[in-house]
């Protein structure tokens, strides 16, 4: 039974979850790029010359990328649903405000939501966030009702793996270069050709926007080259084309010490050129100095070109030379294109015949012993460095496997494939670990005359005699039956329950039956808190608490019912409802008193309607109830408490329901009215 509202929440969950995962991952592929983008947003408050500004932006980048990915992953797996849903609403609300700011104040040309992989304008970003914000609210509204792949007890494992996985992934992309390069300077690009192509595109666009101004009779008009006017017009001048929307991808213009741009010379050289890039030498790592110097020395001896490329001042360059013994020539270039070309400082970019054939972070440079072999490979015709592989990320692999297992188990549960295993595994486990009893209890409600009631008990007694029972059997009957059926049931495994008792001990309460009277009639149990009594006789928490106390005081075992109505289930509030019902009644009992109570979860929408909670739904909420008991009374009492399921339970669904580890039996209405229907339910516990 799934309501349209919940279907909507599920769709919204998938959409927001997928967007969060994709945007988190695409940014996590390039943590340095994300930090640079954050720096652009924070430019009005952070000065990029401060050494710690890059530390701030990098930390924010890690937190943002990992946070986004984790929110998405948790939403899709259905773990920590309410917390993730709340945080995603807060996240999209924050992002909506930022995109509004970026639309109005224009601090960035591209929002950076999807790293360098997908570019959105500030307006597109605002629209995206305005769509996702209400979707995330739909998820939050019904967060508790969302499906989940892992139970409360298991969820820490995928959560830990997801956190470790994304942090390791980001750290890998930070230390080495981004796993996937979405920027224009990726390995394999023929930079010479790409720049030439970009130039000609720009020329064509400029030409297309060039206008010729002509004048006639005091009126001046602009004409396109294809549409020039006749000779009655006089030419005035050419209005040069411009294209404000066009943003050049390539800005490769290194200059030598004399200020000459030498990109042409570098890109047309058929040989190998190594460029060691760092926007500022003062902030470059000194981690691989020996390797760099060895690369330079051997490059020279093999006839390769080798340059340092930087935006550093002369003083910074001198300091770097002094510190590292660097003697390679330096070219000057703006810091921004250097950062676009490489994300590690220093990083190596290798050109051969204008094509980029390798790119490496300083941590991945060949060792001093490997340098010769490496340089020889660069010369091999057609050699291009292979792309990095994901296979080494064992953690990601483990996480992927866990996710797949979670899905498989989820579907297996849906298809009831696990029923067989559950019977074999959970059932003995449950009995071994706790004292709790399996119980099948009938609730006749206002049915049967006294004669019909006694006849039923006689028949059931006969049917059960000599049978090995795996559960306790209880019959809940109207007051008028109690004394007769209790004496009939004596010596049999059948226990007798009243369906109610008064909330007063004794006195002038015409028509009421006290707990003491119930006990004196031979009944040992009393059904309290049934939804029908709550709904039709106005029994509230205060009355029910009093009834429970009186029942216990008179040696009766309360079978206490809780459960939500249809609207509450549809709104995903069922967990909250049962929690409130328990808090308002039984949770005022001492642990010793509570230890004597039997609980029955009866979803009101399933009572007498033919609609049963699925075994997964029943298990989910029974586990939740037990979790509440653990929190209130500790593990032992929670484990020993029998929690029955009630609501259209019958011979055909009992076995599956009772096979759930936290379902300890049933409270049966309609199907307890004939022995023929009731007996197979008792036998479901075989």
- Residues lying near ligand 13P in the complex (CB under 6 A): 443, 530, 602, 607-608, 646-649, 667-671
My answer on whether omega of the bond before 659 falls inside 30° of 0, hence cis, is no
DSSP 367-418: PTTTHHHHHHHHHSTT--PPPP-STT-HHHHHHHHHHHHHHHHHHHHHTTTT
Nearer to ligand 13P, 76 or 607 (CB): 607
**Cβ-proximal residue to ligand 13P, closest one:** 669
Find the shortest distance in angstroms from Cβ 530 to ligand 13P: 6
Nearer to ligand 13P, 366 or 647 (CB): 647
Kindly state the tokens that stand for 114: 């999807």
Nearer to ligand 13P, 140 or 667 (CB): 667
Tell the burial category of 66 from Cβ atoms under 10 Å away from its Cβ (0-12, 13-18, 19+): buried
Nearer to ligand 13P, 44 or 610 (CB): 610
Q: Are 129 and 92 in contact (CB under 8 A)?
A: yes
Find the shortest distance in angstroms from Cβ 114 to ligand 13P: 51
Alpha helices in 465-612 (DSSP H): 479-489, 515-520, 531-536, 541-553, 566-570, 574-584, 591-594
Q: Are 135 and 143 in contact (CB under 8 A)?
A: no
My answer on whether omega of the bond before 157 falls inside 30° of 0, hence cis, is no
Kindly state the tokens that stand for 376: 């020889």
Work out the widest C-alpha separation in the chain, in whole angstroms: 122
Q: Are 66 and 24 in contact (CB under 8 A)?
A: yes
Nearer to ligand 13P, 17 or 646 (CB): 646
Half-sphere exposure of 310 (CA within 13 A, CB side): 25
Find the shortest distance in angstroms from Cβ 440 to ligand 13P: 12
Kindly state the tokens that stand for 611: 């609609």
Find the shortest distance in angstroms from Cβ 612 to ligand 13P: 8
Nearer to ligand 13P, 263 or 500 (CB): 500
Nearer to ligand 13P, 61 or 612 (CB): 612
Closest CA to 78 of 177, 167, 10, 4: 10
DSSP 285: -
Phi, psi of 60 (to 5 degrees): -60, -40
Nearer to ligand 13P, 144 or 677 (CB): 677
Catalytic residue among 602, 620, 622, 656: 602
Q: Where are the beta strands (DSSP E) in 31-70?
A: none
Nearer to ligand 13P, 172 or 533 (CB): 533
Find the shortest distance in angstroms from Cβ 679 to ligand 13P: 15
Nearer to ligand 13P, 344 or 600 (CB): 600
Residues 6+ apart with CB under 8 A from 517: 501
Taking the C-alpha atoms of residue 333 and residue 339, their distance in angstroms, rounded to an integer, is 11
Find the shortest distance in angstroms from Cβ 605 to ligand 13P: 10
Catalytic annotation on 602? yes
Query: Whose structure tokens read 């008179």?
Result: 554
Query: Whose structure tokens read 């209005």?
Result: 239
The number of angstroms, rounded, from the C-alpha of 505 to the middle of its chain's C-alpha atoms is: 53
Find the shortest distance in angstroms from Cβ 667 to ligand 13P: 4
Find the shortest distance in angstroms from Cβ 143 to ligand 13P: 29
Catalytic residue among 148, 530, 622, 624: 530
Find the shortest distance in angstroms from Cβ 653 to ligand 13P: 11
Tell the burial category of 647 from Cβ atoms under 10 Å away from its Cβ (0-12, 13-18, 19+): buried
Q: Are 453 and 483 in contact (CB under 8 A)?
A: no
Nearer to ligand 13P, 13 or 530 (CB): 530
Find the shortest distance in angstroms from Cβ 646 to ligand 13P: 4
Residue 443, CA distances (Å) to 539, 555, 603, 646, 680 in order: 18, 20, 15, 10, 16
Query: Whose structure tokens read 């739909």?
Result: 138
Find the shortest distance in angstroms from Cβ 671 to ligand 13P: 6
Alpha helices in 190-233 (DSSP H): 191-208
Residues 6+ apart with CB under 8 A from 336: 251
* Backbone Cα Rg of the chain: 38
* Residues in the chain, total: 686
> What percent of the residues of the chain are helix, what percent strand, and what percent coil, each to the nearest 5?
50, 15, 35
Which residues belong to the active site? Answer: 530, 602
């Amino acid at each position: 039974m799934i309501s349209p509202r919940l279907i909507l929440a599920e769709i919204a969950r998938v959409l927001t979850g997928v967007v969060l995962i994709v945007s988190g991952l695409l940014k996590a592929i390039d943590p340095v790029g994300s930090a640079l983008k954050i720096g652009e947003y924070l430019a009005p408050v952070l000065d990029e010359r401060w050494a710690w500004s890059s530390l701030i932006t990098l930390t924010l980048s890690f937190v943002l990328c990992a946070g986004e990915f984790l929110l998405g992953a948790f939403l899709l797996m259905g773990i920590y649903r309410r917390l993730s849903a709340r945080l995603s609403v807060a996240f999209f609300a924050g992002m909506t405000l930022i995109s509004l700011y970026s639309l109005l104040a224009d601090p960035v040309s591209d929002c950076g939501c999807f790293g360098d992989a997908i570019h959105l304008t500030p307006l597109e970003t605002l629209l995206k966030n305005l769509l996702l914000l209400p979707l995330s609210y739909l998820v939050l509204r019904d967060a508790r009702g969302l499906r989940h792949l892992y139970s409360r007890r298991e969820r820490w494992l995928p959560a830990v793996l997801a956190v470790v996985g994304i942090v390791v992934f980001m750290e890998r992309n930070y230390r080495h270069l981004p796993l996937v390069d979405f920027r224009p300077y990726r390995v394999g690009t023929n930079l010479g050709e790409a720049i030439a192509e970009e130039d000609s595109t720009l020329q064509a666009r400029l030409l297309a926007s060039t206008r010729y101004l002509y004048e006639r009779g005091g009126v001046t008009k602009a004409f396109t080259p294809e549409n020039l006017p006749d000779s009655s017009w006089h030419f005035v001048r050419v209005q040069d084309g411009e294209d404000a929307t066009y943003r050049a991808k390539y800005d490769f213009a290194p200059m030598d010490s004399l200020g000459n741009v030498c990109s042409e010379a570098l890109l047309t050289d058929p040989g190998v050129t190594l460029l060691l890039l760092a926007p500022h030498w003062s902030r470059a790592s000194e981690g691989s100095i020996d390797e760099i110097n060895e690369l330079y020395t051997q490059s020279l001896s093999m006839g390769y070109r080798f340059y340092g490329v930087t935006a550093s001042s002369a003083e910074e360059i001198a300091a770097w030379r002094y510190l590292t013994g660097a003697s390679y020539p330096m070219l000057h270039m703006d810091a921004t294109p250097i950062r676009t070309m490489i994300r590690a400082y220093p990083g190596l970019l290798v050109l051969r015949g204008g094509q980029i054939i390798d790119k490496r972070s300083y941590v991945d440079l060949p060792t001093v012993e490997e340098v010769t072999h490496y340089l020889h490979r660069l010369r091999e015709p057609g050699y291009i460095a292979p792309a990095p592989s994901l296979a080494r990320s064992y953690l990601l692999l483990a996480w992927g496997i866990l996710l797949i297992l979670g899905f498989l188990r989820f579907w297996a549960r849906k298809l009831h494939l696990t029923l067989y295993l559950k019977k074999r595994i959970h059932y003995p486990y449950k009995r071994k670990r706790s004292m709790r009893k399996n119980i099948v209890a009938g609730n006749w409600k206002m049915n049967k005359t006294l004669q019909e009631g006694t006849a039923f008990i006689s028949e059931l007694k006969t049917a059960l005699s000599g049978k090995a029972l795996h559960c306790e059997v209880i019959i809940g009957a109207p007051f008028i039956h109690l004394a007769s059926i209790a004496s009939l049931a004596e010596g049999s495994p059948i226990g007798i329950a009243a369906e109610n008792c008064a909330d007063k001990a004794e006195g002038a309460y015409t028509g009421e039956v006290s707990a003491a009277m119930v006990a004196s009639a031979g009944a040992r149990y009393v059904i309290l808190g049934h939804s029908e009594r709550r709904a039709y006789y106005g029994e509230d928490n205060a009355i029910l608490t009093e009834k429970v106390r009186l029942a216990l005081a008179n040696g009766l075992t309360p079978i206490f019912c809780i459960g939500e109505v249809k609207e509450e289930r549809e709104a995903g509030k069922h967990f909250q409802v049962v929690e409130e019902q328990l808090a308002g009644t039984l949770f005022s009992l001492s642990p010793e008193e509570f230890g004597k109570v039997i609980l029955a979860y009866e979803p009101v929408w399933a009572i007498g309607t033919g609609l049963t909670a699925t075994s997964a739904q029943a298990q989910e909420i029974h586990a939740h109830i037990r979790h509440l008991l653990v929190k209130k009374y500790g593990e032992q009492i929670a484990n020993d408490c029998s929690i029955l399921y009630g609501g259209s339970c019958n011979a055909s669904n009992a076995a599956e329901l009772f096979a759930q580890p936290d379902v300890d039996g049933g409270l049966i209405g309609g199907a307890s009215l004939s022995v023929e229907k009731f007996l197979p339910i008792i036998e479901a516990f075989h």
